Structure formats: C-alpha cells, structure tokens
C-alpha cells in the first residue's frame, strides 16, 4: 500500500517519519521540497503536487495549518480532488472546521473516494514519539480497513462517528 503525506511541518514531518518506521512506502509533498529531505533520504518519493500524490497513493494524509490550507490542497489547481479516484481514502490530520470537512467529504464521495476528519492531539513531542490521540470521523468500515496505518502514526486512534464528529471532539478537548 502506498501512502501519501502532504504537509511536512513540525507535526507532519514526525507523523510521516513514523509511517516510514513502520515500513510504509511514502509519497510526500510540501510547500518546499527541502522539508522532505529526511523522508526522501529514507526512501520516500517526491510528488510535485497534491494531485500527483492522490494519483499514486491508496491513502492520503494531510497535516496542515488550518481550513484555508486544506481547501487549497483539496480544491485548488492540481489539488487532491483532481487526482483522487474511487476507493481511495483521505485523512485530514489538521485541526479543521466541521463545514470544511463535510464539503471535502461530499466532493470525494462524488468520485467514489472517502474523506475523514482525523485531528490529532499530543503536540510535537507526541507526533515524534507516536504518542498521539487521533480522533476519526467518517465511514466506519473504511476506517476499520485503515486502522493499522493510523496506529503507525499514533497510539490512540479512535473512531468517533460520522464525518465532522471528530472535529467537534477535538475542539471540545482543546477547550477542556
């Protein structure tokens, strides 16, 4: 199974590295290719766009600063939506908005693909050590199929409910 990872900042770089440590083959993309240097040295392939990631991978993850960035990566020119096809799964690990994730999921569903809001909690240290909570909202059967991949990123992947529900759970957690 090929996994795509977009967003190799503080959190994303560690989560992508954990996938590589678990022997997953990665295709990576970021704003700057140099952010992917360590991943490329460990055998990851570089993709020039989110579209190219989606074309090559069965599962795609994003770890981005917020909703505007997710919108650009998914819906923008050469975005994920242009390259994704039926049966593929997209997990957004960002802290996002419920409305954005519902919009993303609806657009993916039109192509026969699956979208998940999957925000994480544990900070950079948790991302580095794999001690992350990952709350996942979306199709339960597809979540179950990819649980092992999520377990390579964090030690507490949990299905919360339908699309958007994990975004709410993360926000409530942050407020508590």
The catalytic position among 77, 111, 145, 170 is 170
- SS3 for 117? strand
Question: Shortest CA distance to 21 belongs to which of 157, 149, 134?
Answer: 149
Active site residue 131: no
Helical pair 67-75 and 98-109, crossing angle rounded to 10 deg: 10
Q: Which residue has the tokens 């799964």?
A: 89
Give me the numbers of helices (H) and strands (E) for the chain, helices first please. 9, 9
Cα distance between residue 29 and residue 26, in whole Å: 10
Residue 129 in contact with residue 148, Cβ under 8 Å?
no
Q: What is the C-alpha end-to-end distance of the chain, expressed in Å?
A: 37
Q: Which residue has the tokens 């026969």?
A: 112
CB count in 10 Å sphere of residue 168: 16
Residues annotated as part of the active site: 170
């Amino acid at each position: 199974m090929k996994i795509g990872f977009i967003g190799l900042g503080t959190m994303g770089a560690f989560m992508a590295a954990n996938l590589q440590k678990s022997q997953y083959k990665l295709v990576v993309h970021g704003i700057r290719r140099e952010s992917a240097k360590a991943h490329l040295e460990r055998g990851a392939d570089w993709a020039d766009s989110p579209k190219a990631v989606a074309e090559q991978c069965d599962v795609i993850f994003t770890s981005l600063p917020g909703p505007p960035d997710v919108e650009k990566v998914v819906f923008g020119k050469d975005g994920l939506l242009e390259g994704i096809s039926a049966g593929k799964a997209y997990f957004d690990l960002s802290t996002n908005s419920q409305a954005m994730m519902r919009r993303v999921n609806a657009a993916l569903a039109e192509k026969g693909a699956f979208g998940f809001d999957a925000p994480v909690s544990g900070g950079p240290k948790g991302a580095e050590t794999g001690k992350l909570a990952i709350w996942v909202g979306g199709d339960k059967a597809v979540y179950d199929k990819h649980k092992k991949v999520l377990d390579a990123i964090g030690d507490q992947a949990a299905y919360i409910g339908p699309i958007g529900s994990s975004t709410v759970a993360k926000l409530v957690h942050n407020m508590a």
